[in-house]
Structure formats: structure tokens, C-alpha cells
Structure 1
Amino acid sequence: MDDPFGRLGISTQSENHKSTVLSLSRDVERFHASDIPFRIFHGNTNSTRPSVRTLAATIDISSLNHVLSVSTSERTCLVEPNVPMDALVAATLPHGLVPPVVPEFPGITVGGAFAGTAGESSSFKYGFFDRAVNWIEVILADGQVVAASNEQNQDLFYGMAGTFGTLGVTTLFEIRLIPARYFVQLSYMPVSGIEDAQEVIQGVADNEDMDFLDGIMFSPDEGVIMAGKMMDRNQADRKLAISTFGKPWDPWFYVHAEQSMSKNGAFDDEPNKTPKSKIHPAAYQDLIPLTDYLFRYDRGAFWTGRHAYTYFLTPFNRFTRWFLDSFMHTRVMYHALHRSGLMQRFIIQDMAVPNKNVPEFSAWLDSELSHIYPRWLCPLKTNETVSMHPHLAPAAQSTDDVLLNIGVWGPTPKHMRQVAVNRKIEHKLKSLHGMKWLYAQTFYTEDEFWQIYDRRWYEALRKKYRVEKLPSVYEKVRTKFDVNANAAPEGDVRLGIEQGFWSLWPFAGLYGVLSVLKGGDYLRKS
């Protein structure tokens, strides 16, 4: 492949990178020659799928965690796959630049965001995270190292996005950057229902000046849509308050957003109705430092952290949030979630549904999972296509076809198993031409999975790039379970938490907390 390092004048860091990639490619070549399927070890995860990874047959890329360069003239950066989002932003922001799409949790890595179809509140404008990638470096299944881009190995370049490392090992990314400002002026617009929310979202999405757009529904008839624009302090209204969300005494963002609804002035037409064409001047606004905005949902993992307070019978107030803050960041919460096995008692799903079917899906959720609120709304870009060439959701041809992401995260109903709830969600999504994001647990049969995604396209890529010995994307993302057994899905559920002594309150939760205090790697098994 062409050497990008010489062109950009990178020295020691690039030499370390090349040495590591060479060693990894030899390991891959050895596995290939021995017909041994391998998996990729990253060192951490923001997936909620149980891990089945073992020490044997593993390619360890956890040391590929550096930002190698930032080019202000080209507005690009060279980044290894295990660079987390907070480190990426910290490296680019001093240059006045930031990636167009920054997933909301600081521990999400560049490789994970690329391989797992990541989006955020700027996705209505820029699409998924992988759309900002210029080219990638890949170790193929036989150990060969190649570059892939829109001009070179184009099919591999587009195939690698969203297929969870099942076509090769991605070891380097060149990412496009955009000019950054140090604040986000955020407007909070109350809405009175899901269709009202859709109307406001569409009106803001048509405004080319906006940089960020998402929403929270707190109940079927109450929510808030939030639209943000990057700016410097001297560009903003001096009267606007500066709000921060990263310090222990700061509010959790969703609490702040809910409180903002009571601060909106009365609108001229209807009290909870925002004009479609613009942001109403009576909408409550504040200024948020850019980094605080990008990672505003880290503390409490949106609002799922509140369930920990309920589980441990702890009051949820400003003092307890301050006192327990070190346990309430996503890196720590994911560690505890995996170690305790409590993820088997939760529904953690992001789902994309065409706009025209959102009201029906929302009403169905209200009938089946009415206890799970808040819900997150994240609009996607018009004409955005989804990785894996799904049959169900073609590129949007009109506003009705544009995908809206709905995040549903909360406890499984007491009368239902997690498997049963997820199966109902999967069937309903299929009927509405929607789909799950595959970072979370999926329970599709293999036939059902390939009725959604383009098997012919995917398997042709696997054959072309000699990847047929590796686990497929279906094998990678599926959750194994026995439909006739009342047991937890297979994976790293070490306590068998849905059965026996350890299912009793509060032992699983305490085990998760103790695992956090102990530290260590919660993915790797001997």
C-alpha cells in the first residue's frame, strides 16, 4: 500500500504503528495458514452483547490507541482504532477542529464507531461516523495489509463500515475534520407528542445553520427537541447562562433538559407548539462548552444510571449524584454491567424507523413497554443509507422515508423474559421497515437476519477478500439462547444471574460494583 506516513512527515509514532501492524499481520497470517478462525480483542467495549471472546485465537489490537497526526491545512487526522472519542476530541480541538460526528460516550473508540454504525446529534447533517473517514488501513484475513478508500478497494472500504470487523482488521483511519467553536448555543423546544416532535425535527433539519439536533420524549405527550449551533463566546448573547455537565456537582444533562421545558416562554400560537420553519424566539437557550456538549450524556449513560439508584434503594438527588459520581460514568457503568450480568434484565436498543412509521412504532412501544421513558430521538441525514445494504430501509426518497433513531433503554417487564421482549421488538420493526443497530443484543434466527440484510453482497465480499474462515457478521452479533429454556443468553454472564442464589437482590449489583473497584479486564476470558 502507499505509505501515508512519509507524505505527512510522521516519525516515531508512525514507526511504532508500522511495527505493531507488521506483528499483527504475521499473527493473522499464521492463523490463516492453520485454518484457525480468530476474533479481535480491543480492550474495552460499549456493546451490550455478551462477550464470547477467549485468549486463544485472538488478535490483540489494544495497543493501537494513538492519534498519529492532525493536519490543519488538510483538516484531517490519522487515528488508530482504539483511540476513544474524548482523546480524539482532545487532540483535534486545540487545532480548532473536530470530527463531524462524535458519538456521545467518551469511551467509544474510532474503530468501534466505524464498525458499529455510530451516529449522534450531528448525524442529521453529516450522516454516520464512518461517512467522515477518507481511507482505512486493513489487515486482510491472510495477513496482507492494504489501503481502502473511495478510490482504492472501494468495495472493501464501504463493506468494512458496520460489519463489526468480519472482513478484516482495521488498523488506521484518516478522518475528515470540520472547524470547531468552543461553545454550543442550545435551544430547548417543548413538544406535545411524537408527531409534534417529528414536525419540529424536520423544521430544524431544514435550517442549514444548525449543527446539532436530537430530542428526548419524557412521556407520550411531553418531550423536548434540542437544536445547537457552534459559536464562540463573543458571538453569543451575553445574557445566556453557561451550562456544564462534566463535573460531579453539575446536573445530569437529561435532568437539565427536562427542567428547561418549564423555562420556555409562552408561544404566540400554542403553548407547546414550535413553528415548523424556525426555532421559536421564546425557546429556552443556554451556552455549553463544546466538549461538555459532545459528552453530555456520559454521566448517567443518558438516564439509565438512574436505575442503579432504584436497584440499591438510593435517593436520586443532586447530593447522591455528586457523591456517587465516580460510579456513574459510562466507562465504569459498562464494566459493572458486563461483570454483574444485569444486562440480561435490561432492554438496551437503538432502532431506526422511517418517519412515516414512527407514530405507529411509538404507539406500539407505549402499549408494550409503557414503563420505559425517557426515549431518545436522533434524526438521520436525508438520503442516508445504512451499512450492510438492508432490504427493508432503502435510501430515503422523501421526508417520510428519512430514518429516525429511537433509543429505548430500561428494565425488562417483570412478567417477560428479555428474549421474548426483544423478539417482539424485532418482529414489529420488520413490519415497519425498521431495524436495530447491531451494537446491542439481537435474537434473530439466521434466516430472519438475512431477510433484512444483503447476504449475496456480503458473502461475495468475504469470498473476494478471503475471509470465509472467520466468523460472519451474523455469528458475531447474534445472541445464542435456548427458546425452550428459562436461562440467560450465552456469553460472559459469570454468575448465572437469572438463576439461583445470585439472582437475589442485591448480590449481582454488588458484584458489579466490587468488580469496578477491583478493576481489570472484563472482556478477556482464559
Structure 2
Amino acid sequence: MSAPRPTLADDFHKQTVGKICSDIRRFYDTKTKFRVYHGSTNSTRHANFDRDRIVDVSPLNRVLEVDREKKVAIVEPNVPMDLLVQETKKSGLLPPVVMEFPGITVGGGFVGTAGESSSFKYGFFDRTVNWAEVVLADGTEVIASEDRHPNLFAGLAGSFGTLGVLTLLEIRLIDIKNYVEVTYYPVKSVEESISKVQEETLKDENDYVDGILFAKNSGAIISGRLSDSCPHRSMLQRFSRSWDPWFYLHAEYIASKPARSTEIVPIEDYLFRYDRGAFWTGMYAYKYFMMPFNWLTRLLLNHFMHTRIMYHALHASGHTDRYIIQDLAIPASNTAAFIRFIDSRFGLYPLWLCPLPPNTRGSMAHPHSLATLPSNEPKNDQYINVGVWGPYPSSELEYVKANRELEAKVRELGGLKWLYARAFYTEEEFWQIYDEKQYRDLRKQYKATSLPTVFEKVKDDPNCRKDRFSGPGLKGQIKRILLGTNLTRGFYGIYKALKGGDYLLAKKNK
């Protein structure tokens, strides 16, 4: 499905896009590589933007139109998920794929690959987009859809802004309902959890399916059905208020019971159920600062445990250098083997399980097609996302080694990794996984060769790790001394999050 260029009489949008076109044209004429600046990030890669080499799209943060009859929304790329849901809800509509963190943006979901608990049914977030307005790297403005510039439209998915600058999208919507009827199925093994995930995706009535493995012999597979009824008030369960339980803790309690259990959850509480505590990674912050982890401390520190604050603190503290934070798409037939590898190599639990659609590879940044894979790799298999998130205290050398082992195992099992996370591949290894010729041909056709490549954007940069807490002169020396331990860096991250402001742009040189 596609649409013609929008005729919205929105002067602010036109003026903003006009400035973006002008800035990009200037960079193009001077052969200067630039980065697209959004004002925030849900990536764990090191991010530090040079103010003189950015195209600022942060003002593009509005829902311009919601059409009840056509069931579409015209949205600027910096609209976060919670705002999008709020606006579409007014018209009785809902995006079919909603990323679980409220601060993730529409543009980030489109060009950065977003697969969520409804993706087994509706596909990745990019599959819900009808068309996209894009400014090419020479400053030209185009509309890309399945009918107009179809190769660009397909290539934008998972491109991370390396083919052009996204400025507007039209997103398909579905009818909203007030609640989600959530059913928890306890599982007692890795194999049972994978089998149950696949079983639940085959049920037409299910709108959402995901799962949590708390240990290799304990977990919960969770399905959800959109509903307008709440039969009993006692069945209503919420997760958004400061005194509500974190979702994963509640699921763990439910999974400890022998039989399945069903409850009713308000729609927005379900959609953003993992926001408080960022799934379960917030638990590690309590351990890190040697604080009790109980209902009272979670209540008192609730402000810090939302994902927007946690991402700010994570980047400011530099603790992305000591955490394994990876999402991996693994063929279902190999998922058990992969989890056994994670269990023996890292011992990290909980793990997140999320079933993915058949078009998984097509939404994940130009990987080689299935036809080019070795004959021993699965060809027609459902994929399951395994979220591996947790601390890995080690030397820098061991940390890099462990991540490279993880990447090698994913490749061995026919999987792909989400590129929002840090990538430790060599350039040669990267282009053995991703189709370099097709990608570079597309960049050449749409004059995008002045933009960074996908590899340049996602590769791990050792210099960023070394320079994070350094600086010139006496001030830099004092900073290195004061932030010389992991604990003081942790407090520094909290301070920066409390202070607010920009944490991505490099300071302007005086």
C-alpha cells in the first residue's frame, strides 16, 4: 500500500525540512560526512556528535494527522511511542507494532529495526509504514513507497540513516481496545519455552506473544489478546504507577505457580510494561550501588528506573563498556542451542524471548539473502529474538573477546544481531554477513556515498572508550581522577541524568 506525497498545510514542517535540505546540500557540495542528530537515543553504541557536522532533525517530533477512516497516521520521525499512542488513541486507533520503551521514536523503529511482541502477527515496525518522506544526501526530497522508489523504500529498513534523512512517515493503524487479556504459561525447560512460544503464535486470537526465561528450568510464556471487557475488578493489573510491580517480577511470581493464570491489563500499561526497570536491567543498578532491592526502594527510586532516565545515565557513566546488551534473532530450530551457549558462557538470566515474522532478514539492515546461506543453515524457519542483557565485569580485552564469541555463535547458528547494539565485527566479517554490493549500489543510486556506511555507524570504536572521561588541561586531569572507579562513574551518570540536558552533542570548542 502506498500514498501520494502529503498535501498537509503545515508551514513549520515545510520550513524545517527546507532547512534540512539546505544543510544537507551544503555538506554534499563540500564532500563533508555528517551524522543525523535526533536529540536522544535508545542505542547502546557510543554516541558523540560533532555540532559542526550534524543535520538536526530533533524538531520533527509531532503527529501531524490521524485519519480515522483510512486508519493511518502521518507522523514526523522523532515522535516517541508514548506520544504516538496517546494521539492515535483519541481516534480509537492504535499502531499494530508498539516498541516497549516509550521513548523509542517512529523513525528509530523504521530505520533501526523494531520487532516486538506483536511482530509475529504484523511484522516488524517498518512493515506497518505505507510511505516515507526522505531527504537524500544531495538535498533532494523524495517520497519512497512500494510504488515509488521501491528499492529505496525497502532499503531504508534497518539502514540506520545511511541512505537518507527521514522526515515524515505514514503508518497503518488498527482499532484500539481498552485492555489486553494477558495469560501466563509456566514453563520448566528451554525446549518447552520455545515450543510454547511457537504454539501461541499459531493461535489466531493472540495479538501479542513473548516470554521470559528466569533460569534454564523456569520461565513464563505470555500471550495477550486485545479486549474491551474487564469481567472482574480483581482481575485488573497495572504496571505503570510507582507502587505497581515491575512486570518481569510479577511474571516471575505468576510463573512460580503450577497452572496458567490470566489477568486484565490496561492497554498502555501492557504496551509499556517493560519501561519501569528497562525489562530487568534496573535490578543491576541496585546491586551495583549495593542497595536493597525491594518494593519500598523501587517505589522511592521510581523516577530513575524509567528507560529515558536510564539511557541517559548509562551513556553518561560509560557503563555500556561493561554490560552485555544484545538482541539476537536466531532460527527457532537453533534457539535452544543458542540459549545453552549463553547459559554456559555468560550465565545471564533472565532472557527475553520474542517470536519474529517470516520476513525477519528483510528488516535487518541488508543481510545476505537466504539463498546465499550455506546449505547447513536453516532456510524456512521462524526466528526468535533472544534478549541478552546483563553485566559482564572484566578487563577491556576480555569484554571484547566475549562479545566477539557471542557474534560468532550467532553467525554459526544462522542468526542476526540487532545493530542498535555495539558491533565488534571486523569490516571483512561484517560484509560476509551483510550484502555489501547491493547496499553500496543502492547508496550510489541515491547519492548517499557522503553518508557514513552502516558498518561505520555500528562498529565498536575503542577510541570512544578511551576518551570518554578524558579531556585537556587541569579540568580533564581532575575528571580522570574523580571518575577513576566504576562506582564514581555510576554516581556521575546519575548526576548527569538528574541535570538533564543534552548528552549526545560534543561540547562546543571555545
Q: Say if 2:88 is the partner of 1:111.
A: no
SS in 1 for 2:465: coil
Compared with structure 1, are the counterparts of its residues 247 and 491 closer, same or farther at alpha carbon in structure 2 (3 Å cutoff)?
Answer: farther
**Aligned residue in 2 for 1:346:** 323
SS in 1 for 2:462: coil
**Aligned residue in 1 for 2:361:** 385
Q: Say if 2:499 is the partner of 1:518.
A: yes
State the distance in 2 between where 1:394 and 1:310 align. Answer: 46
State the distance in 2 between where 1:462 and 1:439 align. Answer: 21
Which amino acid is 1:358 matched to? T
**Aligned residue in 2 for 1:406:** 386
Q: 246, 252, 266: which one pairs with 1:258?
A: 252
Name the structure where helix makes up a greater proportion of residues.
Answer: 2
**Aligned residue in 2 for 1:61:** 57
Q: Say if 2:327 is the partner of 1:331.
A: no
TM-score (norm 1): 0.90
Q: Say if 2:418 is the partner of 1:441.
A: no
Q: Is the 8 A contact 1:51 1:491 kept in 2?
A: no
Q: Deviations over 1:488-524 (max 9, x none)?
A: 7367566999x87624252011101111121110000
Q: Deviations over 1:150-182 (max 9, x none)?
A: 000000001111010000001000000011101
**Aligned residue in 2 for 1:31:** 27
Q: 402, 409, 414: which one pairs with 1:428?
A: 409
Q: Deviations over 1:395-421 (max 9, x none)?
A: 999897111100000011446732111
Q: Is the 8 A contact 2:158 2:366 kept in 1?
A: no
Compared with structure 1, are the counterparts of its residues 388 and 516 closer, same or farther at alpha carbon in structure 2 (3 Å cutoff)?
Answer: closer
**Aligned residue in 1 for 2:191:** 195
SS in 1 for 2:225: strand
Q: 445, 454, 457: which one pairs with 1:476?
A: 457
Compared with structure 1, are the counterparts of its residues 209 and 317 closer, same or farther at alpha carbon in structure 2 (3 Å cutoff)?
Answer: same
Q: 364, 384, 388: which one pairs with 2:341?
A: 364
Identity over aligned residues, as a percent? Answer: 48
State the distance in 2 between where 1:376 and 1:298 align. Answer: 14
SS in 1 for 2:342: helix
Q: Deviations over 1:114-158 (max 9, x none)?
A: 111011100111111000000000000110000000000000001
**Aligned residue in 1 for 2:445:** 464
State the distance in 2 between where 1:491 and 1:289 align. Answer: 45
Residue 333 (structure 1) shift? 0.3
Compared with structure 1, are the counterparts of its residues 400 and 256 closer, same or farther at alpha carbon in structure 2 (3 Å cutoff)?
Answer: farther
Q: Deviations over 1:436-462 (max 9, x none)?
A: 100000010000000001111100001
State the distance in 2 between where 1:64 and 1:443 align. Answer: 32
Q: How many residues align?
A: 496
Q: Is the 8 A contact 2:424 2:460 kept in 1?
A: yes
Compared with structure 1, are the counterparts of its residues 138 and 109 closer, same or farther at alpha carbon in structure 2 (3 Å cutoff)?
Answer: same
State the distance in 2 between where 1:288 and 1:348 align. Answer: 28
Q: Deviations over 1:300-341 (max 9, x none)?
A: 000000111011111000000000000000000000000011
**Aligned residue in 1 for 2:123:** 127
Name stretches of at least 5 consecutive residues in structure 1 with no aligned partner.
266-282, 483-487
SS in 2 for 1:417: helix
**Aligned residue in 2 for 1:299:** 276
Compared with structure 1, are the counterparts of its residues 240 and 314 closer, same or farther at alpha carbon in structure 2 (3 Å cutoff)?
Answer: same
Name stretches of at least 5 consecutive residues in structure 2 with no aligned partner.
none
State the distance in 2 between where 1:478 and 1:490 align. Answer: 15
